[in-house]
């Protein structure tokens, strides 16, 4: 699996999860998005150039808290197309995962 794939000016990130799965949904979302920031910079982009995001959440009961962190993270005027779906996680402690498509700067 590739963490980053670039093709014709488009950047695809593999699914990103939190740094510490023992934390709650807000903390997991924050550290997951920190990893997205790091990978986007490494690939030559940033959060203002995200085209789409798919968020996988373990249980929709966490949606409002996750979305609060997401809304604070997305720069005003740069909200990408987004889907959020309830899904089983690879590890039981994981509450959220994201995959991102972005444009190169």
81-86 and 50-57: which strand pairing?
parallel
Beta-strand runs (E) in 17-67: 50-57
For the whole model, what pTM was predicted?
A: 0.96
Q: What is the DSSP letter of 70?
A: H
Residue with the two structure tokens 């990978």: 39
For residue 42, the Cα-to-chain-centroid distance in whole angstroms is 15
pLDDT score for 5: 98
Mean pLDDT score of the chain: 98
Q: What would the two tokens of residue 17 be?
A: 């999860």
- Extract the residue ranges of the chain whose pLDDT is less than 50: none
pLDDT score for 1: 87
């Amino acid at each position: 699996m590739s963490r980053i794939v670039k093709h014709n000016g488009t950047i695809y990130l593999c699914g990103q999860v939190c740094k510490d799965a023992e934390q709650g949904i807000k903390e997991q979302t924050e550290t997951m998005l920190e990893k997205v920031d790091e990978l986007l910079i490494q690939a030559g982009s940033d959060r203002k150039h995200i085209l789409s995001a798919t968020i996988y959440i373990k249980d929709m009961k966490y949606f409002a808290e996750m979305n609060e962190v997401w809304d604070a993270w997305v720069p005003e005027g740069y909200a990408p197309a987004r889907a959020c779906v309830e899904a089983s996680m690879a590890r039981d402690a994981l509450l959220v995962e994201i995959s991102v498509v972005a444009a190169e700067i």
